[in-house]
Structure 1
Amino acid sequence: MAAASRSAAESLTPDAISATPLTAEETLQLILSRLDDMKAEEPIAIDIRGKSAMFDYVVVASGRVNRHVGAIAENVAKALKEAGITKIHVEGLTNCDWVLMDCGDVVLHVFRPEVREFYNIERLWTQGPQPAKTL
């Protein structure tokens, strides 16, 4: 994190929240911290700056079972709201097989392990462009 950036602790003070929104890197660090707190399995952050105009990072993690997936997503959403990020879009909390959270500059996917393996989102964002094949 750059020297000019605020520390994670400073980011959560009420004065800092109202003064300056979190940067993409601060949002990422907050999400990764909450994933660690909630014992999310195999979290991975993928830097996609330059690959997508919509967001800067994709985070993928697993929960052991549906209930764990939901608890992780709810805990991350609570932390983001406390940090002043109010425009969070969440999909998938009904079944909790795969919860998608659009947090602005960061998108979080929380899967049950077998669902994560099936969709393999990491591959989508880490593979380079493939050359077009001619017929």
Structure 2
Amino acid sequence: MSADDKDNKDAEKDADSDSDSDSDSDSDSEDEDEEDEEQPAKKYIGVVYSADKVKKYSAELELDDHVISGGEYWTAIDAAKAYDELVDLYCDLDAPRNFPAGSEDAENAAAGVDGSSSNLVTETEWETPDVGKRSADIIPPVQGQYLKVDEVLEALEREKAIDVYTVNLTGKSSLADYMIFTTGRSQAHMRRMADMMILSMKAREIEDDFDYGVEGRDCDDWMIADCNNIVVHFMREDTRRILNLEDHWENMENDRHRVYGNMTEDKYMDKFGTSELMEYLEEDDFESVEGPEGASRDSKGVEWK
């Protein structure tokens, strides 16, 4: 091999080496850029970074092995706001949030300031709606037809209702064909589901004299959506356990309770009224509840019979 050939070989090797070095450098640079973009997501609860998406940040809330999506956003701070909205809709007031009310972070978020720097977040003008403002999708309307129980159950499942229980009252009560009971995670969650039921009925434009609305919409432990043929009770866990209405309605026959149907109104209210419930809710120590005969009862097994 001549000296010139050897020099050419060495030059080619150097060029290949430089090319590989440049490629490695570009790859390292891309990895660093991706890592820099991912860092903001790690600051917040419920914010997920996806490098392969156009809007790389999304909000996700996990509930009982289910993942509820709050949408995709240009910035991590907007995804964090969306996550907080999901918490407001589905969780209790003390659930962790990215921007607790009254905190400096909440004020910064409202002003569009990312706490990690002094730069204003200007990529989007999205703001977190008020609690309960975002409504659930209504049940697909069928003009002039009342809701079917399967449609209601499917919608409640979609909204992550807890422990749904159905009582068939057909031929047993003139009040409704079905009574459905379910537990809500929060006042906002119950309101969201109850509003969904009423809006679903109104969308069907049924010509009747029924006044469709949510009873107890401002209550924090019990709401009722009366859809004429189907009545849905949305309750918090403690209230539902104490009242045990499922058992009561399971025993209906000919518009009367099969055991207590012959009681006078006063006697019925003495036995099934709310006085015991009020005593329970006012107790600081929930270990026991005083029964009507003065007997102590376990608060987790209050009997209403």
Q: Same fold (TM over 0.5)?
A: yes
| Superposition CA RMSD, Å | 2.2
**Residue in 2 that maps onto 1:98:** 222
Residue identity matched to 1:130: V
Deviations 1:48-97 (A, max 9, x none): 11221221110111101222111111122222222335742321111231
Higher RCO (Cα < 8 Å, 6 or more apart): 1
Equivalent pairs counted in the alignment come to 114
**Residue in 1 that maps onto 2:244:** 120
Deviations 1:102-127 (A, max 9, x none): 11111110001111111111010113
**Residue in 1 that maps onto 2:186:** 65
Tell me the TM-score normalized by structure 1: 0.72
**Residue in 1 that maps onto 2:160:** 39
Tell me the TM-score normalized by structure 2: 0.34
| CA distance in structure 2 between the aligned counterparts of 1:89 and 1:64, rounded to whole angstroms | 21
1:54 to 160, 175, 181: 175
Mean CA deviation greater in 121-130 or 80-89:
80-89
| CA distance in structure 2 between the aligned counterparts of 1:32 and 1:112, rounded to whole angstroms | 18
Deviation at 1:40, TM superposition (A): 0.4
- Please tell me whether Structure 1 or Structure 2 has the larger radius of gyration of its CA atoms: 2
Percent of aligned pairs with the same residue? 25
1:130 aligned to 2:259? yes
1:76 aligned to 2:189? no
| CA distance in structure 2 between the aligned counterparts of 1:87 and 1:43, rounded to whole angstroms | 25
Deviations 1:12-55 (A, max 9, x none): 3xxx51xx423xxx432232122111100011111011221221
**Residue in 2 that maps onto 1:8:** none
